[in-house]
A and B are shown apart, each in its own frame.
Chain A
Amino acid sequence: MSDTFQCGDNTALVSFLYDECEPGERATIEAHIALCAACAAEIAALQSARLQLASWTPPEAELGFAIVRPRASDRSGPRRLRPAAWFRQPLPAWAQAAAACLIFGAGLSLGVLRGTSLNTSSSAQRAATNSVASPAAVTATDLTALEQRLRTEMAELRAMPASTTAAAPQANNAQILAQVRALIDESEQRQQRELALRTAQVVREFDSQRRMDLARIENSFGQIEGLTGAEVREQRQMLNYLMRVSEQR
């Protein structure tokens, strides 16, 4: 831009307003403004609009963004929500009714069978006494062999959990522990955030209440002062009146 300024050149006025004139231009515009009331008014109006802009502040926002590296526990794969196994899902109503019918039917048939077996109980008892009456069929060697077999099976069963099933639960436990720790951490962080928010809110509310109370008290004082002032004024007027009357007499 040249040093000559055309009256009403708004872009040049904007440059002047923001102090981004080219060398020499500022002095030219200043000289012009000293003489031209219209341009001076324009600059003043723009300047005042700028002053008003300073009052506009965006609301406070909770920001605190951060880029976070995935944690080691997350690397094994994202935790996905899967549907529960079919045997853990709740049964529909029709299935529950069918199951109830089935159980009832089974109970009924058992009852019927028991009734019929009662008729034949005497023969059964007879058969039982016969079988008890012949214990010599089991020999001592048979019993020893049975005992031996049971002992070996029990020993095998005792040995099993220690050797085969020890490693797998330990790994599972570590995984579960890591997940539980992660969940606890998340929960703690969430609680801390909430606590901070609540605390800030309480402080804000307390402060605002305090300020409102102060304003109310100030208003009350103002009213009292006004009333007192009015009374004093009235008394003064009355005194003046009395003075005037006494002087006249």
Chain B
Amino acid sequence: MNWTDEELVARSRGGDLDSFNQLILRWERPIYALAYRVIGREEDARDVCQETFLRAFRGLPGFKGEAKFSSWLYRIALNLSRDWIRRQRRAPTVQLPEGADPSEVAAEQGPVESIEDLVSRRELSAVVEEAMALLPEEQRTAIVLKEYHGMTFQEIADLQGCPLSTVKTRLYQGLSVLRRHLEKNGRVPQLVKRV
């Protein structure tokens, strides 16, 4: 049976571990993806993801359900990622793929694309990742939450604890830096060329 998050949370609070594990199963990928995109390191993103669920589990008695469970999780994950960045006291190191080796590319992608497409996409992914690492943490987080997690401006503002206009400014500035970096790396989109 497909329980909603709220139902699973209620059952978990009643001591049902399986329900909480279902919540983990449901949310571990998005939380990992968020942590990875904010931190930029696979191992640390996994650690943050694991710690997020541990904290959520321990904090279940205090979770009153005023916010959505996912928002609560995102908040924990973002706080942990921010702590991690502070601890590092340097720009996050991005694990760039080693060149455009077709074997690596093929190992990670589906079988429908041609090898050229795969290589091209992988290269582009590396450039984007590199550009994202250049952004300040607030701008990067805003873009990640908007682009990859589909949050509204208001949700991002709540998570980041800033006004709505600040979220828009961060998005604009972040996208502008990305665009410049992509142009510099020869990834000028056709649309801009035409204009």
Contacts and interface: CB of A to CB of B under 8 A. Distances in A.
B146 interface: yes
Interface in A181-216: 204-205, 207-212, 214-215
Grouping DSSP codes into helix (H, G, I), strand (E, B) and loop, the A interface class, with mixed when no group exceeds half, is: helix
A53 B168 CA distance: 17
Interface stretch (B3-11, B43-51, B68-76, B84-92): B43-51
A41 B156 CA distance: 27
B146 A18 contact: yes
Contacts of A68: 17
Contact of A51 (B42, B108, B172, B189): B189
Nearest to B128: A56
Interface residues of A, number: 46
B172 A13 contact: yes
A61 to B, nearest CB: 6
Which of A14, A37, A56, A204 neighbours the largest number of chain B CB atoms within 10 Å of its CB?
A56
Contacts of B153: 15, 18, 20
Contacts of A207: 106-107, 111
B122 to A, nearest CB: 8
A247 interface: no
A60 interface: yes
Contacts of A61: 32, 36, 42, 45-46
Contacts of A208: 102-107
Interface stretch (A42-50, A71-79, A141-149): A42-50
Nearest to B188: A48
A82 interface: no
A179 interface: no
Contacts of A66: 21, 24
Contacts of A10: 168-169, 172
Interface in B7-65: 17, 20-21, 24, 28-29, 32-33, 36-37, 42, 45-46, 49-50, 53-54, 57
A134 to B, nearest CB: 86
A58 B49 contact: no
A212 B102 contact: yes
A49 B178 contact: yes
Which of B32, B33, B49, B175 neighbours the largest number of chain A CB atoms within 10 Å of its CB?
B175
A84 interface: no
Contacts of A54: 147
B103 A212 contact: yes
Interface residues of B, number: 57
Nearest to A40: B195
B77 interface: no
Interface in B89-129: 95, 102-108, 111, 115, 121, 124-125, 127-129
A147 to B, nearest CB: 69
A62 B86 CA distance: 26
A14 B146 CA distance: 11
A57 B148 CA distance: 10
A53 B104 CA distance: 21
A209 B95 CA distance: 24
A49 B103 contact: no
B29 A41 contact: no
A59 B57 contact: no
Interface of B: 17, 20-21, 24, 28-29, 32-33, 36-37, 42, 45-46, 49-50, 53-54, 57, 95, 102-108, 111, 115, 121, 124-125, 127-129, 132, 143, 146-148, 152-153, 165, 168-169, 171-172, 175-176, 178-179, 182, 187, 189-192, 195
Given A60-B108, A68-B17, A208-B105, 20 more contacts: A10-B168, A11-B165, A18-B153, A40-B195, A44-B191, A46-B172, A52-B182, A52-B189, A56-B37, A59-B42, A61-B36, A61-B42, A63-B46, A66-B21, A67-B24, A67-B53, A67-B57, A208-B104, A211-B115, A215-B102
10 contacts: A11-B169, A41-B192, A49-B179, A52-B128, A58-B45, A59-B95, A61-B46, A65-B53, A208-B107, A215-B102
